[in-house]
Amino acid sequence: METKGRGRLNRELNLWDIVALSIGAMISAGFFLLPGIAAQQAGPSVFIAYFFAALLMLPAMFSMAELATATPKAGGAYFFIDRSLGPLFGTIGGVGNYLALIMKTSFALVGIGAYAVLFFDVPIRLTATIFSIVFMLMNLLGVKKASGIQKIIVLLLVVILGFFITEGLREIFFSAGKNEYFKNYTPLLTHGFEGLMATTGLVFVSYLGLTQIASMSEEIKNPERNIPLGMILSLVITSIIYVLGVFIMVGVIPPEQLWDDLSPVSTASKHIFSLISPGAGTLIVVLAAVIAFASTGNAGLMTTSRFPLAMSRDRLIPGIFSRISRFNTPSVSVLFTTAILLVVILSISESDIARLASSFQLVIFMLLNASVIVMRKSRIEAYDPGYHSPLYPWMQIFGIISYFFLIIYLGWGPGLFTMGVVAFAVLWYWYYARKTARREGAIFHWFALLGQNQDKTIENEFLHILKEKGLRDGDPFGEMIVQARITDLGRKRVAFRSLITDVTRRFAQDIGSIDKGILKREFLAVTGIDPALIIPRVSILHGKVDNIRQPMLHIVISERGIKKPVMKGEIISEDNIRVFFFLLSRSDEPKLQLRLLSRLMDIVERDQFVENIISITNPREIKEYLLHNDRYITLHLQKGTVQEEFIDKSLREVKLPSDVLVAIVQRKDQIFTPRGDTVLRENDIITIIGETKGIKTLFNKYIHKESP
């Protein structure tokens, strides 16, 4: 049974999951089939073409990493292009990238059949069809199951290819026939620089699996760390295997034989293995080829199916594609993608796929580089990437120019295909998606700098994405809550303007020298993110000042409620606010303020939030309620319990995990923040905050453990 409506995917993939998915999606046809075909254009320099292709992936990789850490959502390149350049370009990017990845995946599935026929007398396309259905079932059952199998597949593949490369380098540089092998590298540029660049465009498809990480970003744990690191590790490992592996093939296979060879790895293995027999070496290499194609097919289906999911969420295609099954997988999207794969496998020649896939993917990469420039120029407050592309904007400009020339080198056929896909996407947008899409891209914010209108909905969406991402390591949210001032007005009648004046005065007392008039205007100013902060009976007001070290928070609770204009600065209607949050942060840390605001939003959206917080009268318990997650614990120090060991000791003497600290002490009616020399007393109630691991250790020791 499927869930209704739009579902969210779980963050289940760690760093090695995504590295395995990316490597598995990259190492297949590019290594086992393309080198011979590519050598026809480049000659012995074909291994340099693989190296150039890896270098030219860098602008796209850095741009994808920045965009993915800012907006880790399903759909990858499509989502980034849509939110930056608008839904028209998003439709072009989504349709084109989807078709390019489908063709790459179908080519890998056909490759399984081509190598499997060496063992079994089964038609190639029948084998490809069977594996398509097998991978479909794996992806329907759950992403974690599929990624677990993927790690095993990729580990076997890397071990086998590592053995192949080690034996190959030994044969070329240290065997008796090394002089003959060296002759195969001269002349290096048999078809000149033009042939080398044309080959670079051809083999570019070998690295397209790197985009799989971005398309799975919604399901990646700690995306701000794991996405860029996963991309870098995947590209480094894959490029080393490609360059060294193709270098070996060029050395040990005579040029004329290499040009006509559709299984050059198998041919090379007959020359290089000495620790095992050539026959056994060939068998291992064929096994590696089948493993490689299987990993690409599995990873390709997994990630490609996320494009219809993302486009459906945005109403660019029918809503049925955003359905999430009880296995937490986009089942309709997986089934539809499998059907398209089968059509491609059964009707399109394999020889044309590489050029066609490369051509449109280069267009996508041009749009991605442009997207980073647009996002930064748009000055959207909630655009908060955890990773920033180096050498901006020159890295992006270089990428756009280089990808344009690679498309030219690929020739007319791929160019016409690209234009055809663009035309189809434009027509689809014009006659279907334009009527349902209700947003514009970040480029409208850039136009706003020239006096045009902005689309405020993207500000709201980015703030909600920040809420989904959560706080970064080191963000002082816990410290801010612990130090927060809390005012409980009870049933006292207070006017909104009087409340602003009183809160401003208290902040000025705590900070020291500050213009209260400026601070009041900060709390009353209208910002682009304010619509996202409108929550019934709760108001979150925020401001920025220069002379504070850490963010400050003042919480005001009113049982009676305070009448407040719904829109700041221009009264349209009033809401009876019962809980106010006044957040003050440094002017030079706007992104930190947004992350703190997004965390507050996450808290106030809890079920029965207002009722729960109104019912709490103890300031310590209010702070604990706001901190409530797996990063805090409260201990009541009583004799005869496990907590007795804290009593009559200073905090310096108490042995706690290194990643936690005692944040609040309640002693009778007094609540204070302790220092290192604070001595804990019997019946003290202490609140400890910190990292999940340390809190769990304390929970197991002091809560689960029975009293002596």
Model confidence pLDDT, tens digit, residues 435-468: 776 555 555 555 544 444 455 566 677 777 777 7
Task: Specify whether the CB–CB gap between 648 and 681 falls below 8 A.
Answer: yes
The pLDDT score that the predictor gives to residue 531 is 67
Q: Quickly state the pLDDT bin for 9 (edges 50, 70, 90).
A: low
One domain, residues 384 and 477: no
The pLDDT score that the predictor gives to residue 451 is 42
Among residues 435, 459, 489, which one ends one of the domains?
435
| Percent of the chain whose predicted confidence (pLDDT) is above 70 | 88
Cα separation, 627 vs 665, in Å, equals 15
Tokens of 253: 């296979």
Mean pLDDT of the 305-331 span: 78
Report whether pLDDT(571) > 60.
no
**Would you say residue 5 lies in a domain?**
no
DSSP 678: P
One domain, residues 512 and 638: no
Cα separation, 166 vs 162, in Å, equals 6
Q: What is the dihedral of CA 486, 489, 490, 492, to 10 degrees?
A: 180
**CATH value at residue 647:** 3.30.70.1450
The pLDDT score that the predictor gives to residue 4 is 38
Bigger pLDDT: 569 vs 471: 471
DSSP string of 312-370? HHTTSS-GGGG---TTSS-HHHHHHHHHHHHHHHHHS-GGGHHHHHHHHHHHHHHHHHH
Tokens of 662: 């005692």
Reduced to 3 states (helix: H, G, I; strand: E, B; else coil), residue 553 is strand
Which residue, among 37, 23, 21, has the nearest Cα to 353 in the 3D structure?
Answer: 37
**CATH value at residue 333:** 1.20.1740.10
One domain, residues 651 and 606: no
Task: Specify whether the CB–CB gap between 237 and 171 falls below 8 A.
Answer: no
Reduced to 3 states (helix: H, G, I; strand: E, B; else coil), residue 570 is coil
One domain, residues 424 and 491: no
Bigger pLDDT: 639 vs 215: 639
**How far is C-alpha 596 from the chain's CA centre?**
20
Bridge partners of residue 467, in order along the sequence = none
pLDDT 10s digits, 667-684: 988 888 888 889 999 999
**CATH value at residue 573:** 3.40.930.10
Least confident of 150-164, 233-247, 433-447, 670-684: 433-447
The pLDDT score that the predictor gives to residue 449 is 47
**Would you say residue 107 lies in a domain?**
yes
Reduced to 3 states (helix: H, G, I; strand: E, B; else coil), residue 425 is helix
Report whether pLDDT(238) > 90.
yes
**Would you say residue 449 lies in a domain?**
no
The pLDDT score that the predictor gives to residue 557 is 95
Mean pLDDT of the 609-634 span: 84
Report whether pLDDT(573) > 60.
no
One domain, residues 312 and 369: yes
Structural domain count, the chain:
3
**Would you say residue 360 lies in a domain?**
yes
The pLDDT score that the predictor gives to residue 142 is 64
The pLDDT score that the predictor gives to residue 569 is 42
Q: Quickly state the pLDDT bin for 528 (edges 50, 70, 90).
A: low
The pLDDT score that the predictor gives to residue 452 is 46
Q: Which structural domain, as residue segments, surrounds residue 203? A: 15-435
- One-letter amino acid at 566 equals V
> Using CB atoms within 10 A of its CB, is residue 43 exposed (0-12), middle (13-18) or buried (19+)?
buried
Q: Quickly state the pLDDT bin for 265 (edges 50, 70, 90).
A: confident
Q: How many CB atoms are closer than 10 A to CB 628? A: 11
- One-letter amino acid at 579 equals V
Reduced to 3 states (helix: H, G, I; strand: E, B; else coil), residue 454 is coil
For tokens 């005065």, the residue is 505
CA 610 to each of CA 542, 622, 647, 695: distance values in angstroms, whole numbers, following the listed order:
20, 12, 36, 27
Cα separation, 147 vs 156, in Å, equals 14
One domain, residues 518 and 545: yes
The pLDDT score that the predictor gives to residue 548 is 87
**Would you say residue 459 lies in a domain?**
no
The pLDDT score that the predictor gives to residue 143 is 53
One domain, residues 343 and 481: no
Task: Specify whether the CB–CB gap between 410 and 383 falls below 8 A.
Answer: no
Q: What is the mean pLDDT of the chain?
A: 82
**Would you say residue 515 lies in a domain?**
yes
